[in-house]
Structures are given as structure tokens and as C-alpha cells.
Amino acid sequence: MEDYTLPFWIYLAIVTVFIGGAMKKILASHLNATSTVVAWLGATVLVERLWAFCLPAMLLLVLFGITFCIYYATKTSQPRAMLPAHGKAVIITGCDSGFGNATAKHLDSLGFEVFATVLDLNGDGAKELQRTCSHRLTLLQVDITQPQQVQQALLDTKAKLGLKGLWALVNNAGVCVNFGDVELSLMSNYRGCMEVNFFGTLSITKAFLPLLRQAKGRIVTISSPAGDQPFPCLAAYGASKAALNLVTETLRHELEPWGVQVSTILPSSYRTAQSSNSAYWEKQHKHLLQNLSPALLEDYGEEYVTETKDLFQSFAKHTTTNLQPVVDTIAQALLAPQPQPRYFAGSGLSLMYFIHSYFPYSISNRFLKKRFLKKNVIPRALRKQSAFDVNLSLHNNNNEEKLQQM
């Protein structure tokens, strides 16, 4: 070892810091154990290539990596002590169906005092909650885009809680009112998504924050990977979720001194509410065709728009109806002594985020398109241009052959 020069040890320190920083980022992303092991193997291969002449250094890093993986696997496999649910009050938005409805029932069964907001007190979802849940559950009719209804829900909640604080707010209510390319999506779709997913969620969060600060409680927000990654044909929905992700992360930093802990849950693909409703997709498709300008419809073609609708319907049919992974993750974020800033709920998300974070853009973009929507129909104007280019090429080739014969 005495033959090694000072520059070598500087080089060794720099590469070690680089690998350590990469591992820190991986762990901060809360990837699963498999992704962590893959990352360590990649780091080990890199070290082996760079330091083939320094076997002790390579062995030291490999040993450190293996020790860390064993420690991490042992730590995550041990059951974690959770806080008691009994006596804790939580308000959940968007409980008519889907995640909200399932979460309200699950938290009620755990012993929470649940305030479930619904759009329709006489709807099937509200009636199901009344029928299946305990007397602790309270239904509130709230459209989170209506400030008066949000304030009334706050007054009703405070009246029932009395001096007891509100332990948590679960921001679940959201909509996806578009499918289509950025240029094809109507401005009303962008505004509709933003009004519910961002402004509505922000409105009810701000309204209930005094109660949450009083109890040093929690905010759990259901977002979407579409807010982090450019899913094809989901620009309006993704943009609203991106705005929601940013304000949630900002709240997490700002509310830390108050003792309020903030978590974001990113579910994978699930079949909820209107996603499995064929009539809904047909209505959206018809509305889009009726409101597109003739010039834009001519450039893209009706068959291009129809294929997008068919792909969304097909994708929705293959998603899972088992919402339990998301429901369990929400409960964990509410009861864990130290909740994580972000949770992945569902299969495939760890791999998707790993590829998005560490692979070249060309690879991550191809993976995203293959995983979500893979369009085959080319816009009409591009098909015409392609056909024109082919004919022009054939014409030029024929003229060249005639000139050669002369």
C-alpha cells in the first residue's frame, strides 16, 4: 500500500463520495430492496473497472455494500410499532368511491373517528359508508372547489370535535378530465384539472391547517406519478399533480417547526370510479371531437383521436381493482411514528422511478411509452407528408435514371 501516491487517494476519495451520493439519492427515493441491491452491484462493477489494480479497495467497498444491504433488509423486515388509531380524528376528501371510500371504511375499522366528504349525500358511496361503518363516521357534503362548502365542513368538524384536535387530513379528491395530446386537450380540461386537483386541495388544506397545527397532526396527499413524469396524453392531469407535488413538498418544510408531518402517496395504476366506465370515455371522446377546430382535426385526424380513447379504455381494463395497497399505505402514513415524505403504493413504481432517475432520457422515455400508451396511428398530416416525400423521392430517382440513359 505504501506504493500508492497521494493523487490516487484523492481519486479514491472523490469516487467514493460520488458513489455514496448516488446511494443517498437512491435511498431518499425510498426504492425497494431489489433496486438498492442492483444499484450497489452497479457501483461495485464501476469500482472494479476503475480500480482493477487495487484489489483491497474493491473488496472493502463490496464488503461495505453487502453489510449495508443486510442491515437494510433486516431493518425493513422487522415489524414497526405503529401509533394507536383509537381516538384520532381524520378527515378524508372524495369518499364517494375509489381510494377515498375504501380508506374511510378501513380507517373506521381501525378505530379512527372519520369525517368523510362526499359530493352527494344520497349517492351510492355515501349510503354504503353509512351502512357499513360505525357511528364514529360522519358524512360531510363538500365540493372542494366551493369555498363556502369547505368553510361549512370546517365549522361542522370543529363543532363535533370540541377541544380535541384533528389528527390528519387525507387529500384524496381529484379528477382526470382529459385524454389527448397537449395540443388537442381543451383549455377547459386544463382548468378543470387544476381547479380540483390543485386549487381545491390547497383550499381545504389551508382551511384545516389551524386544527392540524393544534394537534401536531399530519397531512397525507394522494398524488400521481404523472406529476413527476411525462406520461403521454396526460398533460392536463399531470400538470395539476405536478403543482400539487410542489406545494405539498413546500408545506412539508414549512410545517416541520409546527410538528405537522406531511406525506405524499404515489399510487400505481388502479381501476377506480370513472376509469372503468365506457360511457365516460365515449362522452369525453365525443366532447373533444365536437370542440376541436376543423383545422386541428384535419391535421391529426379523427382516427388518431379515437385510437387514444381506445388505448385509455384498454389500459383501464387491465388495471387492478384491489385498492388495498393504497389503503394500507395511507394508514401507514397516518400511524407510523416517523412517516416518510413519499410512499410508492403498488407494483412497478420503484422500477419506473429508478429508470426515470438514473437512466438516460431516451431510455426512460421509451420505457414510459411502452408501459403506458403506445400509439400506432400517425397524425394525418404527417402521413400525407410521408407519402409526399416518398413520391417525390421516386420521381427524382426516375429523372436521374432517364438522365443517365441519355
Residues designated catalytic: 237
Name the CA radius of gyration of the chain, rounded.
27
Distance in angstroms (rounded) separating the CA atoms of residues 58 and 52? 8
Q: Which of 248, 230, 264, 313 is nearest to 29 (CA)?
A: 264
Going by the DSSP 8-state scheme, the letter that residue 29 receives in this structure is: T
Expressed in percent and rounded to 5, the helix, strand and coil fractions of the chain are 65, 10, 30
- For 76, residues 6+ apart whose C-beta sits below 8 A from its C-beta are 33
- The three cell numbers of residue 61 are 467497498
Torsion 28-85-325-230 (CA) sign: negative
- In this structure, the strands spanning 261-267 and 342-345 are parallel
3-state secondary structure of 114: strand
Distance in angstroms (rounded) separating the CA atoms of residues 323 and 222? 13
CB 259 within 8 A of CB 216: yes
Residue in this structure with the C-alpha cell 418544510, named with its chain if needed: 253
- For 342, residues 6+ apart whose C-beta sits below 8 A from its C-beta are 29, 30, 263, 264, 265, 266
Q: Which amino acid is at 136?
A: R
Distance in angstroms (rounded) separating the CA atoms of residues 265 and 383? 41
- Output phi, psi for 222, to 5 deg: -90, 110
Distance in angstroms (rounded) separating the CA atoms of residues 255 and 248? 10
Q: Which amino acid is at 295?
A: A
What is the distance, to the nearest Å, from the Cα of residue 333 to the centroid of all Cα atoms in its chain?
16
Torsion 191-198-170-179 (CA) sign: positive
Give burial (CB, 10 Å; 0-12/13-18/19+) of 145.
Answer: middle
